[in-house]
Chains A and B, each alone.
Chain A
């Protein structure tokens, strides 16, 4: 039995600005089922981190429990990682982010991990506007525990055993918009051309960035009648716009038809280039983003792409006015300024 990834890579791989080829961002060989959508998302994350010239030691991967939450083992081996408790990734991310605001925080969760056991944590991390990327690899089931319906399974969707889901599904993207997330996108594991720029833009976003990625479970939820199967998703997919993420403003080479082109300039001068496909949709307007999602749903369409973005986002550190420097770099003198300072503070509070 051999299942070992060869060390050879394509001889013409290009180096990024840091001098790394894409394989530097790889992880261990996946042990997920062959054909799992999660693996494609991992490949998208590797590609995005490579293209974004991420220094691996400046990124932390965080996850809960589930097949999806296992994936951080399969990308960015040279980065920090914390595989936490079921549904508790946001707490760990919050703690880590507060201690060291200089890292890029990359959270991976599943629909079970987020929409069931972790729902409380999810809504609060959005509310607090933690600066992180939060990806849900959404397969409509609990893959790791053998495919039970999850809270994102659509009403009427049939699972592998033939059982029809009777409950209304939770729409994570509209929930995130509703709760004030400043970057909300939706994508499909089978569409890397769209997914990679979305991940790049999300990592670059200065607040909470959420991407709900439909990611078929080949083993338990890829049957006829399931609304999360490869075939169903492909037949019902729609997009708000084609997306490109440009780290620094540059000449736009492609001209689209009038009114369909939209550039969103971010805080740091980077640009999200959108070629709009959906009508009556403005990515800067929460109301119109909500409408677009609801309209699509009414048409049985899965709306993908960037849904909503607020380029002037503020994150938790801004809101609670923490130190500009990571807490873990503060010295004892700074953290314990002495009894004189304590007296001053106490006096202020009198």
Chain B
């Protein structure tokens, strides 16, 4: 293999598994260390820069970082990832004054106007990144307040309104012109209003329906999940029947069933077509539903709504079993026996969401594909109309808040480039820094000790309280001490092991000390051969090998990054400091920090 080019920031970036997996590439270990140091404000600001909604995300993020977290790989005996997401909340809960650390208007106008359609996280991110550059931002939403689905869909018992208001407020306070209660009927009209750019952040607002017998007759008690949740959020709906069926196996179904429990549903049941293990809902959402006495009944396909005398009585289901062909493709095969009848006063349909752009005329140069989705550039987020950008759920269908934020950052950069007449392909390089952590013998600037603590559980409020008050937040969050202890579980994957070939005397000390057998000295070979020639075979192909230049014995040092604990023992034991522990800071450049207009 060729020697690893550690000057390419993407190499070390990949070693920081959580940050790499985060769509917005939040510098996770940096903020976790700050939490351990009780520097909550600084930890919050690192987050705010990257993900804009630390308080919201610290409660609701889909947390793609956690399955990626190295901690989950290091012992093969069920060691769980660091509670990255809930630590974010610790920063948000305990922070001091952050307003003073944020950009403060009024900003000198740059003469450009941008319209943002939809006030969800994608648009709000664009607003935050562009406002400090002097853009005049006009934010449109049909709802009465900003936040998009964070407000209309995520229930208050998971995300208190105060937290959302605070973080939406930080953005609106940058001098955003809001046009709430304003449904945009026509993009053509909007484009006609001399905007320099339009960002479409309208989400995927259409809930899928279920067209089976009885749907029309029972309509009064059959609700589309996301519409129903929005009605609850905006207090148009305050009650539900005693017996409720929720259809669907995703997170929306989980929010529907838990909300129903709080609005009078004593017997709420979730019915899913697929086997339990294959449900789309996150494991923790399923656990929370179970905790609230909501059975999830899998392998049941809805057949009909049973309506008698104009009143919904329940539903029938066909029991199925999942069979898989040799390619692993699933088929749901009916199990013999009669259909099953389940009583219900109300049914909530949460079987998926779709995009819908009835307000976008098809003659604006915006290309739509056969699924009626706009053609959007994956790097620049521009559509086929150079003035129109898409991001968040509107671009490629329903995802999550953090993805919407990540899109927003990149779209903001593109809008800034476009407004400055620059090529959109000129993406901004990340801000990177690599600094030695050595302070002395056995002394590092980071806490190198690897603790053995198991993942701490976030305490929850008493069920008696939460089930009777829809707005009572279920999770109490870590207190400062639990937050510290959980923070200590982080392995500091950003503290990189940096190898200097010409200092190495090949004494093997690092090989012998490394607890997880990461380091080998061997003859060089192709990657696939090399992976099997190491002290422990490097089987995780998603993790890179760090290969040195050729050493005096004609061998190379090969480090498998996979289960490195970043404990620094290799560097401690190296007599020549050929290994050094260096902190790698990587931050995605945002429009307002590396703006095109300043260059």
Contacts and interface: CB of A to CB of B under 8 A. Distances in A.
B73 interface: yes
Given A5-B515, A7-B452, A190-B506, A33 B74 contact: no
Contacts of A231: 505, 552
Interface in A1-46: 1-13, 30, 33-37, 39-40, 42-43
Contact of A34 (B449, B509, B563): B509
A218 interface: yes
Contact of A218 (B443, B536, B569, B575): B575
Given A3-B442, A33-B575, A234-B552, A8 B508 contact: no
A8 B536 CA distance: 15
Contact of B509 (A5, A12, A13, A36): A36
B506 A230 contact: yes
Given A1-B442, A8-B565, A40-B509, A34 B517 contact: no
Contacts of A310: none
Contact of B512 (A2, A11, A39, A222): A39
A42 B563 CA distance: 23
Nearest to B440: A1
Interface residues of B, number: 39
B508 A2 contact: no
A246 to B, nearest CB: 21
A1 B572 CA distance: 12
Contacts of B516: 6, 8-10
A34 B442 contact: no
A221 interface: no
B299 interface: no
A34 B569 CA distance: 10
Chain B interface, DSSP helix/strand/loop, else mixed:
loop
A189 interface: yes
B552 A2 contact: no
A317 interface: no
Contacts of A87: none
Most buried by A among B448, B575, B576: B575
A13 B537 CA distance: 10
A230 B507 contact: yes
A192 interface: yes
B336 interface: no
Given A36-B509, A40-B508, A234-B552, A11 B515 contact: no
A40 B449 contact: no
Interface string B531-564: 0000011010000000000001100000000010
Contacts of B567: 5-6
Contact of A1 (B74, B443, B511): B443
Contact of A40 (B73, B442, B507, B553): B507
A98 to B, nearest CB: 34
Contacts of B506: 190, 230, 234
A4 B449 CA distance: 6
A35 B576 contact: yes
A141 to B, nearest CB: 16
B563 A11 contact: yes
A305 interface: no
Residue among B452, B505, B507 with the highest chain A CB neighbour number at 10 A? B507
A12 B552 contact: no
B565 to A, nearest CB: 5
Given A189-B508, A234-B552, A12 B76 contact: yes
B158 interface: no
A216 interface: yes
B73 A35 contact: no
Interface string B75-87: 1110100000000
Nearest to A4: B449
Contacts of A40: 507-509, 512
A35 B450 contact: no
A37 B512 CA distance: 11
Contacts of A222: 505
A335 B362 CA distance: 106
A13 B511 CA distance: 15
Contacts of A1: 442-443
B442 A11 contact: no
A10 B565 CA distance: 10
A252 B229 CA distance: 72
Given A2-B442, A33-B575, A190 B507 contact: yes
A331 B553 CA distance: 58
Contacts of A4: 449-450
A192 B539 CA distance: 23
A8 B450 contact: yes
A6 B565 contact: yes
A30 B443 CA distance: 17
Given A8-B75, A9-B516, A234 B563 contact: no
Contacts of A10: 516-517, 536, 563
A12 B539 contact: yes
A192 B447 contact: no
Nearest to A37: B507
A2 B512 CA distance: 19
Contact of B505 (A5, A39, A230): A230
B574 interface: yes
Given A33-B575, A39-B509, A2 B447 contact: yes
B448 A2 contact: yes
Given A3-B442, A35-B507, A8 B515 contact: yes
A2 B449 contact: yes
A37 B576 CA distance: 14
Contacts of B574: 34-35
Nearest to A230: B505
Contacts of A216: 507
A3 B449 CA distance: 7
Interface string B54-93: 0000000000000000000111110100000000000000
Nearest to A11: B76
B573 interface: yes
A45 B224 CA distance: 68
A333 B145 CA distance: 96
Contact of B515 (A3, A6, A36): A6
A7 B517 CA distance: 13
Contacts of B444: 2
Contacts of A43: 508, 511-512
A173 to B, nearest CB: 22
Contacts of A37: 507
B455 to A, nearest CB: 14
Interface of A: 1-13, 30, 33-37, 39-40, 42-43, 189-190, 192, 216, 218, 222, 230-231, 234
Given A10-B517, A11-B74, A12-B76, 11 more contacts: A1-B443, A2-B444, A2-B448, A4-B450, A7-B452, A8-B515, A10-B536, A11-B75, A11-B563, A13-B517, A231-B505
Closest 10 pairs between A and B when the two form their complex, measured CB to CB:
A35-B575, A11-B76, A6-B450, A43-B512, A2-B449, A35-B507, A3-B442, A34-B575, A10-B517, A40-B508
27 contacts: A1-B442, A2-B442, A2-B444, A5-B513, A5-B567, A5-B569, A6-B515, A7-B452, A8-B516, A8-B565, A11-B73, A11-B77, A11-B563, A12-B76, A13-B517, A30-B513, A34-B572, A34-B573, A35-B505, A35-B573, A39-B512, A43-B512, A190-B507, A222-B505, A230-B507, A234-B506, A234-B552
